Structure 1
Amino acid sequence: MKLNKYILLVITAITSVIYTSCSKSNDAEPTVSGTGKVQLEFENLVGEEPLVLNTETYKNAHGDSYNITTFKYYVSNISLVKEDGSSYKVPESYLLMDASEPQSRFQTLEGIPAGDYKAINFTIGVDSARNFAGAQTNALDPAHGMFWAWSSGYIFVKFEGTSPQSTAKGNTLTFHIGGAKSPTNTIRTATQTFGGNLLRVRDNSKPEVHFAVNAATMFTGKANVDFAALNFTMGGVNSVIVADNYASSFITVEHIHN
């Protein structure tokens, strides 16, 4: 009788070990490998309103009214940050968004190592090395109207429009933000987290990151821009004022979809 009880206890123990082992094996997170794609969507706004070229009127923080005829900007040097803090720099990540070309708001990053990412780093503009490498191709092609031939540099953000408060001829607004040399360097970098969520890159899926791009941040932040006093800049100290305004709030992550 005692022998039978002993055998029963042994069988029960072995069964428990096998069940526990199987449970751990089944519950374990599978190892991810390969590469995947990530789609980026940039939604152009003025404050909380959609940015509409030519026909809509907005107000800046100073109270000046304005409309927008041109809105373009570069996002470059993109890195995705993993849970453990390591990062993957996306090669040749030079993206140009143009409000007059709706399809440009959708950009795809390819060859991203599979994994779970918690944040994204990027540059608003074009890095110094490429900025002084002369006219280039693809998004950096001068045909896009974002290159100063006279100074061999790129325009990082191009904003044009009109305002009744502007003292320029025709009440125009011309904000061409660029410059990569101190003391008028306007290259700005930003880091955006995914709000406590993780962007899950896999070889059989295409997660999305949705950004809000707020043109109004150009004219408020460190300094509220008065269009009667500042309505034209093509680099220089006035471009630094605008770049400092939008540095941390121009492009923000709204949400992600896995």
Structure 2
Amino acid sequence: MRSKIVISIILVTILSIKLFGQYSTLQLNFGHYIGDQKLVLDSVMFKNELGQNFTVSKFKYYVSNFHFKSSSGKDIFINETFLINEDEEESKKIILNKLPAGNYTSFDFILGVDSLHNCSGAQSGALDPVNAMFWAWNTGYIFLKLEGFAPNSLSPGKFFEYHIGGYKQPSNCIRKISIALGKEVKTDAAITKEIKLKVNILEILKTPTTIDFSKLSSVTDHKNATLVADNYSDMFKLMPNEK
């Protein structure tokens, strides 16, 4: 008799979690583009704002510190860090499974790694130095890497490389990315909701500063890094069919 009562309690508990489970699963998909063309590494030639040709060989960056605004005005914070890498298809699909079920109107995140994690030395997971996104304990993480080939580059081999990082003023390259959802997105425990983002790499090379490969082919320290960071702050948009 006692065992039946225990089993009943367990079943009621499981059912309660399913019915009133506070968490839903949201998948964010990051699609990489050069303007309206899908990014293809190495083999496809693109043009920047100045009409200069270039190819991309590497594109990777950190996203972290997610805030979701519910229709009731609540702000939900998810403290996770992800490394998005064009060369690793699965990395462009990130799963957030600590989001309370509900209706959401917007969200934001940072491109970069916050000061706390930058000051914590080498870490594991997405922040593991094996990912080649860590400078040193006193300089922290590289937030974004964009590398490739450009005939106008004055560097040896005609390569360009932009390694952007820094969390201290006046070289703070952390940028907040805000995404307004065209319509309320409802999440619940029963299904995984997907949101698709378009990441336009051309924005890294323009607005507010148009980058000329013949004048700026390399950014590997904090010099000029904030210039590039200001450019990439608007490269994330909601996919048109998501609005």
Q: TM-score with structure 2 length normalisation?
A: 0.88
The aligned amino acid for 1:124 is L
Q: Aligned equivalents of 1:134 and 1:255: distance in 2?
A: 39
The aligned amino acid for 2:83 is L
Indicate yes or no: 2:110 matched with 1:123.
yes
Q: Aligned equivalents of 2:25 and 2:106: distance in 1?
A: 16
Q: Aligned equivalents of 1:132 and 1:111: distance in 2?
A: 25
Q: Aligned equivalents of 1:39 and 1:240: distance in 2?
A: 30
Indicate yes or no: 2:179 matched with 1:192.
yes
Indicate yes or no: 2:41 matched with 1:53.
yes
Q: Aligned equivalents of 1:75 and 1:256: distance in 2?
A: 23
Number of residue pairs matched?
A: 224
Does the 8 Å CA contact 2:142/2:165 hold for their aligned counterparts?
yes
Instruction: Please list, as runs of the form range in 1=range in 2, the aligned pairs for 1:106-145 lying within 5 A after superposition.
Output: 106-145=93-132
Does the 8 Å CA contact 1:35/1:112 hold for their aligned counterparts?
yes
Residue matched to 2:238:
253
Gaps of 5+ in 1: 1-30
Indicate yes or no: 2:72 matched with 1:87.
no
Instruction: Please list, as runs of the form range in 1=range in 2, the aligned pairs for 1:169-208 lying within 5 A after superposition.
Output: 169-195=156-182, 197-208=183-194
Kindly indicate which of the two structures has a greater share of residues assigned to strand.
Answer: 2
User: Is the radius of gyration larger for structure 1 or structure 2?
Assistant: 1
Q: Aligned equivalents of 2:93 and 2:164: distance in 1?
A: 23
Q: Aligned equivalents of 1:109 and 1:255: distance in 2?
A: 22
**Aligned CA-pair RMSD:** 1.6
Instruction: Please list, as runs of the form range in 1=range in 2, the aligned pairs for 1:237-248 lying within 5 A after superposition.
Output: 237-247=223-233
Give percent identity, aligned residues only: 34
Gaps of 5+ in 2: 1-18
Following TM superposition, the consecutive aligned residue runs of length 4 or more in structure 1 with deviations greater than 4 angstroms are: none
Q: Aligned equivalents of 1:111 and 1:256: distance in 2?
A: 25
Does the 8 Å CA contact 1:199/1:256 hold for their aligned counterparts?
no
Q: TM-score with structure 1 length normalisation?
A: 0.83
Does the 8 Å CA contact 2:119/2:137 hold for their aligned counterparts?
no
Q: Aligned equivalents of 1:128 and 1:115: distance in 2?
A: 30
Q: What is the CA-CA distance between 1:151 and the residue it aligns to? A: 4.4
